[in-house]
Amino acid sequence: MRMLSVENLDVFHGDAQALDGVSLDIEEGAIVAIVGANGAGKTSLIRTIAGMHRPKRGRILYRGLDIAGWPSHKVCDLGIGQVAEGRQVFPSLSVAENLSMGAMLPRARAERERNLEKAYALFPALAERRHQAAGTLSGGEQQMLSIGRCLMGAPELVMFDEPSLGLAPTIVQSVLKTVRDLNREGLTCVLVEQNVAVSLKLASRAYVLENGRITLSGSGEALLSDDRVRQAYLGL
Ligand SMILES: Nc1ncnc2c1ncn2[C@@H]1O[C@H](COP(=O)(O)OP(=O)(O)O)[C@@H](O)[C@H]1O
Ligand SMILES: [Mg+2]
C-alpha cells in the first residue's frame, strides 16, 4: 500500500530553486533510497516533507491526506519522523532528557515509558550513559541518540538524512544495520546515504536526484547495476 506520494514538488530557497517537479512514491514497509550529489536537493526534499519548508507547488500525500505546507509539529504527530543531517542532539541535556524530548508529541506521550525501554534495548550504550550529557557522547553514540529520539515519537515513517556521515567505518555498518532492522520490524524508511552501494542494496526502491530533479528511478537492484549510477555514484 502506498504510504506517501510526492507529486510535482517545487521548492525554492529565496530565488534559488532546490526542487523542480519532484514526484516519488513510498510504499508502506519499504526502504526508499534517495541518491544524489551534494547540493542535489536531498535535504530540501526531506525537510519539505517534514514541514520545515513550504513548497511553492505540488502535493505531499500521506495516506491520501495532502500535508504540503503543514507545520512540522503536525507532520510529526501524523507519524512522520526524521533523523536530521548532522545529528543535532541537545549537548547539555542528558541522554534521557534528549530521548524524552522525542516523546512530547501527543501521539507518543502515552507510550513514553514503553518506547524509552525499547530505545534502551535497541541501543544499550545509551542505557549505560542515560545520565551523561549528550555532548560527551561519541559521534556514533550521538547518532544512536538522534535515532532513539526520533523513535520516541512513535513514527511510522522515518527519513534518515546521511545517518553515517562522519562516522568511523565500523559505526557506519552498525547504523545501517539499525536502519535495516527497524525496517524489518515494520518501519517504513527513506534513506539518504553517502554510502550509495549499501543504500541501494537495502532499498526496495530508489530515486536519483540531480539538480533538484528526479532523473532515474527503479528497484535498488536495478539502479545498482545501471551504468549511469555506477559511473556517477559508485566510481565504477
Ligand atoms: N536554507 C537554504 N537557503 C538557501 N539555499 C539553500 C538552503 N538550503 C539548501 N540550499 C541550496 O539548495 C540546494 C539543495 O541543497 P540540499 O537540499 O541541502 O542538497 P543535498 O542535501 O542534496 O546536499 C543547494 O544548492 C543548496 O545550496
Ligand atoms: Mg543534505
25-84 pLDDT, tens digit per residue, is: 999 999 999 999 999 999 999 999 999 999 999 999 999 999 999 999 999 999 999 999
**Is the residue at 60 inside a domain?**
yes
- C-beta 15 within 6 A of ligand 1: no
| Ligand whose nearest atom lies closest to the CA of 44 | 1
192-202 pLDDT, tens digit per residue, is: 999 999 999 99
**Is the residue at 181 inside a domain?**
no
Ligand 1 centroid–CA 102 distance in Å is: 26
User: Of 13, 17, 82, 214, which is best to mutate to test ligand 1, by the most ligand atoms within 8 angstroms of its C-beta?
Assistant: 13
Residue 41's closest CA among 215, 205, 204, 234? 215
Per-residue pLDDT at 57 = 98
pTM over 0.85: yes
- Percent of the chain at pLDDT > 90 equals 94
| Ligand whose nearest atom lies closest to the CA of 34 | 1
User: What rounded mean pLDDT belongs to the chain?
Assistant: 96
**Is the residue at 105 inside a domain?**
no
Distance of alpha carbon 184 from alpha carbon 168, whole angstroms? 25
**Is the residue at 158 inside a domain?**
no
| CATH number for the domain harbouring residue 196 | 3.40.50.300
Ion ligand 2 contact residues with beta carbon within 5 A:
42-43
11-42 pLDDT, tens digit per residue, is: 999 999 999 999 999 999 999 999 999 999 99
Distance of alpha carbon 165 from alpha carbon 43, whole angstroms? 13
Per-residue pLDDT at 236 = 75
Domain count, the chain: 1
**Is the residue at 150 inside a domain?**
no
Domain residue limits at 8: 1-76+192-236
**Is the residue at 86 inside a domain?**
no
Distance of alpha carbon 220 from alpha carbon 218, whole angstroms? 6
